[in-house]
Chains A and B, each alone.
Chain A
Amino acid sequence: MLSRFFDGVPAVEDLSFEIPEGKLFTLLGPNGAGKTTTVRLLLGLIAPDAGTANIAGYKLGQTNNALRSVCGLLTETPGFYDRISAWENLIFFSHLYRIPQTVREQRLEQHLREMNLWERRDSLVGTFSKGMKQKLAIIRAIFHEPQVIFLDEPTAGLDPEASLMVREMIIRLKGEGRTIVVCTHNLDEAQRLADIVGIINGRLLLCDTLANLQSGAGLTTSIEIELGEPLRDHQRTAMNLPFVKSVQGKDRTYVVEVENPSSNIPGLVRVLVDKEVKVYAVRPKARDLEAIYLQCVSGKGVGQ
């Protein structure tokens, strides 16, 4: 349970989650929700006031420099030395990451070519567009082949083509077995990339696999039930089950709010069939991440 306070005000509180190796974790939250503080805590850049964490086998606070050598960071604003070239910037940081000389230049060339920056390698970074700087910053975050990669708004400021390229690269990195943490406001991006989604607003409001969140597993979600004929009163009364939160509808189509739908829907259908209701179809109403996110950060919870 990681907590960190600034001048007595909690930046993040009671943070607890686990990311399996090779998975992509997306941390969603409004501005000031504690995403950057969380990343800084996990990189050992700031110390927690309470709690600890294990990252890639390193315990926070004990071997922070070793921990940082197996982590990569893309900061929210890609900071570079504007008065020296892209190549010189990357060489500088590659030394800080102790990338062996034997592979350094070859690896940089490969990444620069992938990002379409090879031809501009000798240009001053000060002449780069925001998108080009962002691509350069991504190279810096991954060129030492880290086990864990923290990406803060990786596609911010990029055009659609570059965004696609970055997303494909993230997917490739995940395919290589690297664990990736993406902080983003971009819900569409999170939906495309995430294995696990965390929604934070000071506290971790929700943390689950994207599949579970969308199906509503472990949460209250809506299902649509199509019947042969409208419900009669005694049939509707029979639906007053502990896991049924609401029933709305008319004619033959009803929307039912069900808790833990994956385990409770069969029980609901059984009750309806016992009451001689002709059940034609039961369809879960899939929720998109935006709905989940907005519900979460608005303080309403996710049907809990």
Chain B
Amino acid sequence: MNVSLLFLRKELRELRKNKFVLPVYLLLPPIAVILPVVFASLAPTIMAIDQNDPVVLAIHRIITTTPEFAHMGTDEAITRFFLRNLVAFYLLLPVGLSSISAAFSIVAEKQQRTLEPILATPITDFEFLIGKLLASLVPSIILTWAAAILAVVIVNWTTWGRYQTPLLPDRFWAIGVFLLAPIMGTASVLAAMRLSAKMSDPQSANQFTGLVIVPTFMVGIGIFGKVLTISMTAVAIACVVLLLLTLFLLRMNLKNFQREEILTKWK
């Protein structure tokens, strides 16, 4: 078996007994399934409560000025608009899941004193880094995709009677979930691994990730998320920028992820 995949297998076995990481893995994906279903069912009703509300008016303005929604009925356009905005949650999902797992995975090696026995084997620094990266990233991506696919099926099933057409996935949803989300997940894992290397216990790593890395990505999505739901050019630019950020973080990690550094400076 590939050494890097070995870490993934080991981490999956440990995951079910990990009290720091498991709750997050159990909580977030069901929310990612339920939210689109709830929004798909209630969006037109929510919009009808107060027609003069400034937010409702703003949404109506977007819907009427976006050519894509022009040929649709109001309810369908509103529902599609709400669903498209939920892509932001799917971008955050791998960030939340994988960065907490990544932060924990390095610091746990230190705490369990397994770092030195691992580093004393013929494993290369690169194999170790990629192993840790995959171990945190793969489960979170699989869960994100599984939640997204399940949401698509349920949303289409529950709304078919009303609109006679599948609402999901649209191209923004597909690119967001299947391309942007993994890239953001990778970037957050690399950031978490780099930062968690400075931590000495899982609690600090968890708190640091929860208070710094996840909120940083949330703010990013909050600022740019709106643009990502209406412009494919913005989505393409976001992909390129995030890829560059990911490559930069990978380079930083590779540069610093050396036996000597880990053993003598990571206290």
Contact = CB atoms under 8 A, between A and B. Distances in A.
Given A78-B113, A93-B117, 15 more contacts: A43-B120, A45-B259, A46-B259, A46-B260, A46-B264, A71-B120, A73-B116, A73-B117, A73-B120, A81-B112, A82-B112, A83-B13, A92-B10, A93-B118, A95-B1
B231 interface: no
For chain B, what secondary structure do more than half of its interface residues adopt (helix, strand, loop), or is it mixed?
helix
Interface in B10-29: 10, 13-14, 17-18
Nearest to B9: A92
Contact of A75 (B3, B117, B124): B117
A46 B263 contact: yes
B114 interface: yes
Contacts of A43: 120
Contacts of A45: 116, 119-120, 259-260, 263
A137 B122 CA distance: 17
A93 B121 contact: yes
Interface of A: 6, 40, 43-47, 65-66, 68-69, 71, 73, 75, 77-84, 88, 92-93, 95-98, 137, 140
B117 A83 contact: no
Contacts of B123: 65, 96
22 contacts: A45-B120, A45-B259, A46-B263, A47-B260, A65-B124, A66-B122, A68-B120, A68-B121, A73-B116, A73-B120, A77-B113, A79-B115, A79-B117, A81-B14, A81-B112, A83-B14, A83-B17, A83-B18, A84-B13, A96-B3, A96-B122, A137-B117
Nearest to B5: A95
B6 interface: yes
Instruction: List the 5 closest A-B pairs by CB distance, nearest first.
Output: A79-B113, A96-B121, A69-B122, A73-B120, A83-B17
Interface string B26-38: 0000000000000
A47 B114 CA distance: 20
B6 A96 contact: yes
Among B1, B6, B116, the most chain A Cβ lie within 10 Å of the Cβ of B116
Contacts of B121: 68-69, 93, 96-97
Contacts of A75: 113, 116-117, 120
A81 to B, nearest CB: 6
A66 B13 CA distance: 29
B119 A88 contact: no
A65 B122 contact: yes
A40 B6 contact: no
Interface residues of B, number: 25
Interface string B106-142: 0000001111111111111000000000000000000
Given A84-B14, A95-B1, A79 B114 contact: yes
**A69, A79, A82, A92 pick with most chain B CB within 10 angstroms:** A79
Nearest to B2: A95
B6 A95 contact: yes
A68 B121 CA distance: 6
Contacts of A79: 112-117
A45 B122 CA distance: 11
A95 B260 contact: no
Contacts of A71: 120
Nearest to A39: B120
Given A80-B114, A140-B117, A98 B122 contact: yes
Residue among A43, A84, A96 with max Cβ neighbours from chain B (10 Å)? A96
A88 B120 contact: no
Interface string B230-267: 00000000000000000000000000000110011000
Contacts of B17: 83
Contacts of A88: 10, 13
Contacts of B124: 65
A93 B117 CA distance: 9
Nearest to A150: B120
B18 to A, nearest CB: 7
Nearest to B15: A83
Given A65-B124, A88-B13, A80 B112 contact: yes
Contacts of B3: 95-96
Contacts of A47: 260
Nearest to B260: A46
B129 to A, nearest CB: 14
